[in-house]
Amino acid sequence: MKYEIKNQPFTVLTLHMKQGEAIKCQSGAMAWMSPCIQMETKTGGLGGMFKKALVGESLALNHYTAAADGELTLAKHCPGDILTFNIGETPIIAQKTSFLAATEGVNMDIYIQNKAGAGFFGGEGFLMQKYSGSGYAWLEIDGSVQERVLEAGEQLVIDSGYVAAMEATCRMDIQTVKGFANVILGGEGLFNTVVTGPGKIWLQTMPVNALAMSLYQYMPHPSN
């Protein structure tokens, strides 16, 4: 299946689908498509709906199949980028709500942090998403993306919310910001996320919560 990613930061993913090819995508992601592309909504059963609810995804996925050669375009819901992952031997761990689309051979499941503190306090979420199997997965990134490769034992300290995805060979933990003044006046919060290699990590430059806080100060607020 051929694809194009363009129009950053208001990014769209265009899939050029041959007859018989199929993908699954997040509800509401379709922007436009050829008349020959057929849609079917599937919930994945009660267990699948429960897992989607836990990670904040829509309870049903839309499955698109090409009855003939055609085009399907999917759009992000906020400014940012779309990353393509060729899922194979090494599963990918990603922030929840990042799923946009995947080919049918990709399996999506819940990934639970080994240490609860890494999720509750690290800002990445106690529950993340794990992508395994075989095929392509397209994930939504907030802002633009920076890719880093960590050697075995190499660490990177990251502000909360900036980890978009990592290979499953990496380990995530939290680190307390030291110093009372640093915590109160530094503006970085109480904790940082620490990712340890080996493996690749993908960092996003504008987490949606940071974007929301930046815009909040310009919004009118009701008087007390």
DSSP secondary structure of 134-186: SEEEEEEEEB-EEEEEEPTT-EEEEETT-EEEEETTSEEEEEEPPSHHHHHHS
pLDDT tens, position by position, 137-162: 999 999 999 999 999 999 999 987 89
Q: Is residue 222 part of a domain?
A: no
User: Which of 1-5, 20-24, 65-69, 184-188 is predicted least confidently?
Assistant: 184-188
- Taking the mean position of all CA atoms in its chain, how far away is CA 121? 19
Q: Is residue 79 part of a domain?
A: yes
Give CA–CA dist 43/72, Å, rounded: 21
Give the ranges where the chain is alpha helix by DSSP (H): 45-54, 116-120, 180-185, 208-216
Q: Is residue 53 part of a domain?
A: yes
Number of domains in the chain: 1
Give CA–CA dist 53/63, Å, rounded: 19
Q: Is residue 139 part of a domain?
A: yes
Question: If pLDDT is split at 50, 70 and 90, which confidence band does 164 have?
Answer: very high
Q: Is residue 31 part of a domain?
A: yes
Candidates 5, 2, 31, 29; CA nearest to 17 is 2
Which residue range forms the structural domain that includes residue 70?
A: 2-216
Q: Is residue 104 part of a domain?
A: yes
Q: Is residue 224 part of a domain?
A: no
Q: Is residue 221 part of a domain?
A: no
CATH number of the structural domain spanning residue 104: 3.60.160.10
pLDDT tens, position by position, 51-78: 555 545 566 789 999 999 999 999 988 8
